[in-house]
Structure 1
Amino acid sequence: KDNVNIEKPIEYQLLYDWLGKGLLINDNSNLWRERRKLLTPAFHHKILDQFVPIFNKNTDILLDRLRESTAKDCVNICDLVFPAALDIITETGMGMKINAQQNENLDYIQAIQDMGRILHLRMFNPLLRINWLFKRTQLGRQYDRNLNVSHTLTRRVIRERKQYIIDSRDREGSHTGADIDGHKRGKRLAFLDLLLGQHLSDNRLSLEDIREEVDTFMFAGHDTTAICLSWTLYFIGLHPEVQRLIHDELDRVLVANRDVTYDDIKELRYLESTLKESMRLRPPVPAIIRALTHDLQLGNYIVPAGVSLYLMIDTLHVDPTVYPDPLAFRPERFLDEAECAGRHPFSYVPFSAGIRNCIGQKFALNELKIV
């Protein structure tokens, strides 16, 4: 609730090689504030509106793959949802189509997935957390090879996109790059375009700064979304009455069998409550960590400065004093205004909270609803 203890602790250093000083793990509060201010326009509602056709298109491909899977006795939904989320995040983030759903053997896709697996192993192995030791293991060498694949592609796309914007500027006049009004000129702007627009206008963001933020957007935006989609589909499958209510709402809002629009998203209230209930029971990020720079009073206890404080979101979300019958899947929790009004605003934090909350949460909710 305050703006004091907002530093990220050393636990996040496992991601430094990949994400650098990106917004997610930046441990310098002053630099973080500057970056956050620079990046906020990239999540303006005018920009988010432009991404809706990308969400629709890639969801159509996912639906085709789901139909092809109906003949199987058992389907691992994660194997279908993760490539779809990756296609969406690369096209909205970098303006690049990698077609992960049609070709899951691409080097970049394999590298991203492999790095995620290795990071998971490092988190739970104290020896692998020691960087110089990790670098001398087979896993460390494998991680570095994957890192090279990822960074090489991101830097190449940034260089090419920068040149494209410069060439377009030379053809069309003195405009220096991309901004939130770019859609008025008939252009769909990727997250990268907006960062390059700032780079070309005042150079406050270097190309390496942009690489860090693009990789952060990719890292934070595809895995978490895919996890939420997978769990939500699981819960809907377990609760046919919820599935029926979602279906009724979709029939009411989407009168014809058409693509979802930005205006439609606002009307899908029961679907949104279902997604929220899914994230309550299975938050895509089950814990966040803060490094205390000042002593913190917690009830009768004082947590001293200098320690890492783990905030267990998955435990918070099943507190019976906040959520009656906490393990039951009941989307109506988020529709009952009286029930919602009685909750502490920080009792539900799937996107974190406070000034270091997730900058892309509206983007994520729009994507989740449409898919």
Structure 2
Amino acid sequence: MCTPVLCGKLTTNYLYSYLDKVIKERKQSLKNEMELEKIQKKRHLDFLDILLCAKDENGQGLCDEDLRAEVDTFMFEGHDTTASGISWILYCLAKYPEHQEKCREEIRDVLGERTTVEWEDLSKLPYTTMCIKESMRLNPPVPEVARKLKEPITFCDGRSLPKG
């Protein structure tokens, strides 16, 4: 039996090697012009396609190390904050069953006999959206973003913030 640290290291190494393999294979497939055309015609590019096709002003793409760093951020930090946000939403709905019931009714009305939510359905769920946003406001997965003003700023309503 392995220790949690060792198991975690083995799991991390496995994930990193898997990600490296996926990046390498996708990069290789983009060298094929037909595959590149097919990807560019897709309505919605996936995250890795966007990164692999990105070029700077000199036409240079991301190096393997930069690609890996971006994919790591998306895969690990993104999943962590998403899981935290969903957990808080479920907690808030459990804590306030009357709001949970209103969300359930709204979703049932929109879905009817269907069992899955379609993209078009999202705009028809204002109460559920409101509850999700309120939960995120009360319990943000990333609670603070620190910024330091380099110069004072005045907003259109007349309020202002000083430098620093």
* TM bucket, shorter chain: 0.7 to 0.9
> Is residue 154 from structure 1 mapped to residue 28 from structure 2 by the alignment?
no
1:262 and 1:243 map into 2 onto residues whose CA distance is 21
Given the alignment, which residue of 6, 14, 30 partners 1:165?
Answer: 30
Bigger RCO of structures 1 and 2 (CA < 8 A, at least 6 apart): 1
Task: Name the aligned partner's letter for residue 42 of structure 2.
Answer: G
1:174 and 1:193 map into 2 onto residues whose CA distance is 9
2:84 and 2:23 map into 1 onto residues whose CA distance is 28
Task: Name the aligned partner's letter for residue 18 of structure 2.
Answer: L
Structure 1 SS opposite 2:146:
strand
**What runs of 5+ residues in structure 1 fail to find an aligned partner?**
1-109, 112-141, 305-371
Aligned to 2:39: 178
Given the alignment, which residue of 140, 144, 148 partners 1:287?
Answer: 144
1:259 and 1:218 map into 2 onto residues whose CA distance is 25
Distance change in 2, residues 1:152/1:174 (3 Å) = closer
Would you say the 8 A contact 1:253–1:267 is kept in 2?
Answer: yes
Task: Name the aligned partner's letter for residue 53 of structure 2.
Answer: G
1:101-180 matched pairs, under 5 angstroms: 111=8, 149-167=14-32, 169=33, 172=34, 175=37, 178-179=39-40
Moved over 4 A (4+): 145-150, 295-304
Given the alignment, which residue of 125, 144, 159 partners 1:268?
Answer: 125
- The alignment yields a C-alpha RMSD, in angstroms, of 3.2
1:283 and 1:254 map into 2 onto residues whose CA distance is 28
> Is residue 231 from structure 1 mapped to residue 88 from structure 2 by the alignment?
yes
In the TM superposition, residue 174 of structure 1 has moved relative to its aligned partner by 7.0
TM-score normalised according to structure 1 size: 0.36
Would you say the 8 A contact 1:182–1:189 is kept in 2?
Answer: yes
2:35 and 2:95 map into 1 onto residues whose CA distance is 57
Would you say the 8 A contact 1:178–1:194 is kept in 2?
Answer: no
Distance change in 2, residues 1:284/1:173 (3 Å) = closer
Would you say the 8 A contact 2:29–2:35 is kept in 1?
Answer: no
Given the alignment, which residue of 92, 100, 111 partners 1:243?
Answer: 100
Given the alignment, which residue of 194, 197, 202 partners 2:50?
Answer: 194
Would you say the 8 A contact 2:149–2:163 is kept in 1?
Answer: no
Would you say the 8 A contact 2:30–2:36 is kept in 1?
Answer: no
Structure 2 SS opposite 1:217:
helix
Structure 2 SS opposite 1:288:
coil
Distance change in 2, residues 1:211/1:245 (3 Å) = same
1:301 and 1:264 map into 2 onto residues whose CA distance is 40
**What runs of 5+ residues in structure 2 fail to find an aligned partner?**
1-6
Residue by residue over 1:252-300, the C-alpha shift from the partner in whole angstroms, topping out at 9 and shown as x without a partner, is 110113321111112111111011110111111111123x372557989
Task: Name the aligned partner's letter for residue 276 of structure 1.
Answer: K
Number of aligned residue pairs: 151
1:249 and 1:173 map into 2 onto residues whose CA distance is 42
